[in-house]
Amino acid sequence: MRSFSMKRFGLLAMLVIALGLLVFITTHARANTPGTGSMNEAASPNWSLAEAGLSAPVLAITPPPAAQEPCLSCHILGQNKGLWTPIARWALFGGLGLVFIFGVYRSANTWVTRSPWKSFTSRAAGWVDERYKISEPLTKILKKPVPKYALHWWYCLGGITAFLFVVQGITGILLAFYYKPTPEAAYSSIQYIETQVYLGSAIRAIHHWCANGMIVMCVAHMLRVFIMGAYKRPRELNWLSGVLLLILTLVFGFTGYLLPWDQRAFWATTVGSEIAGAIPAIGNLALVFLRVGWNVTGETLSRFYGLHVIVVPLATVAFMGAHFIMIRRQGIAKPL
């Protein structure tokens, strides 16, 4: 432990001064910025009073606070310029300030220590590696050789399926923000997404068409594996998990189809669950499990929503993880 030194104190002082300057500049800039939403100022009675000069000293009147309630529909419709402006301002001024502080600190440090500057990234990497020793296994994972025959286009079908699953996850989360899984509200919430929500129809189109694309890619990947015999020993479990993933993808399609709660969806689910009810022995159980009762009702919608949004994604992620780990362990099957 080194004792207190003048050099370190100087560095610290410079840092504090720079920070203080930054805070001063940003707050000053904000104080001078006219309030967002000029409409609110015009509507305020205090302002008109001040402008008319009816009140005694003008300076004594404190300006009214900016309206506290943000325009909620503006946020959904994408007309929310006032919400992003402060973030953009902080990013700009704060970023410039950080660059300035970094420059000062770096110059002072190289001058004080008389040694070349060590970048923050290598410092952070060294800090983590010193504690968790991840550099060696990480290098092993990243430098694992991939055979050149795996660069043919037909080897990327499975990867495309996985990527489309990620796309479905992201767009599905965005849709879930506005979708309401009740028979009264489901249909109108889909209409709301399509007509009112900013980029809502684009997100729904991506979710709709990538779902179809995911099934096509899944089947194409399966056919590739089948034709090339890549399911043979020692890769039997890869095939099993892959078939389960295809079934899960189809369950995604079946449960997601009901969610718009229109005529097509309702009757397709009615017929689909009726077919499940015709399975010998477990038919009635399957029917009641899918419909939550003997008819397709709002309970069915909740059940399908829960399956579509929580159960099936979790199962898919688990089986995808297993699928990938097994591929990683065994490498890509060598064609003849």
Partner 1 sequence: MTDKELSPEESIPFFPDHVKTEFFVVLGIMAVVLIIAIAGLIKPVGVGEPADPLNTPLHVKPEWYFLSLYQILKKIPPMVLGIQGKVIGVVIPILLVALIFIWPFLDNKPDKSRRIYWIRLAFAIFAVVAIIALTIWGEVS
| Range 155-194, binding partner 1 (CB under 8 A) | 156, 159-160, 163-164, 167, 183, 187, 190-191, 194
Site size with partner 1, rule: CB under 8 A:
79
CB of 113 to partner 1, least distance (A): 34
Q: What angle do CA 30, 31, 34 make, to 5 degrees?
A: 85
Of 35 and 298, CB closest to partner 1: 298
Q: Could you tell me which residues come within 8 angstroms of residue 193 by beta carbon, excluding any fewer than 6 positions away?
A: 175, 178, 179, 200, 201, 203, 204
C-alpha distance from residue 245 to each of 33, 95, 153, 221, 222 (Å): 55, 45, 22, 12, 11
Rounded to a whole number of angstroms, the minimum distance from the CB of residue 81 to partner 1 is 21
Provide the minimum distance between the beta carbon of 227 and partner 1 in the complex, in angstroms, as a whole number. Answer: 5
Return the residue of 247, 251, 311, 327 that touches partner 1, per CB under 8 A. 247
10 Å CB burial of residue 248 (0-12, 13-18, 19+) is buried
Which residue lies nearer to partner 1 by CB, 50 or 291?
291
Q: Least distance (Å) from partner 1 to the CB of residue 289?
A: 16
CB of 143 vs partner 1, minimal distance in Å:
5
309 near partner 1, rule: CB under 8 A: no
Least Å distance between CB 334 and partner 1?
A: 6
Could you write out the DSSP letters of every residue in 203-244?
HHHHHHHHHHHHHHHHHHHHHHHHHTTTTSTT-HHHHHHHHH
Q: CB nearer to partner 1: give 97 or 241.
A: 241
Name the residue nearer to partner 1 (CB basis): 261 or 305: 261
Quote the least distance from Cβ 262 to partner 1, whole Å.
Answer: 4
Compute the distance between CA of residue 34 and CA of residue 39 in angstroms, rounded to an integer: 12
The window from 71-79, 98-106, 201-209, 315-323 that contacts partner 1 (CB under 8 A) reads 201-209
Distance, in Å, from the CA atom of 177 to the CA atom of 179, rounded to the nearest integer, reads 6
291 contacts: CB under 8 Å, gap ≥ 6: 273, 297, 299, 300, 303
Bond from prior residue into 234 cis (ω within 30 degrees of 0): yes
Considering only residues 106 to 145 of the shown chain, the ones binding partner 1 according to CB under 8 A are: 141-145
Q: How far is the CB of 24 from partner 1 (least distance, A)?
A: 43
Among residues 209, 299, 317, 318, which is the contact residue for partner 1, using CB under 8 A?
209
Report 269-298 residues binding partner 1 (CB under 8 A): 270-272, 275-276, 278-280, 295-296
- Collapsed DSSP state (helix, strand, coil) of residue 165: helix
Q: Does 305 bind partner 1 (CB under 8 A)?
A: no
Candidates 83, 124, 173, 250; binder of partner 1 (CB under 8 A) is 250
CA 121/CA 130 separation, integer angstroms: 14
Closer by beta carbon to partner 1, 55 or else 191: 191
Considering only residues 37 to 76 of the shown chain, the ones binding partner 1 according to CB under 8 A are none
For residue 242, give the nearest of 134, 334, 323 by alpha carbon.
323
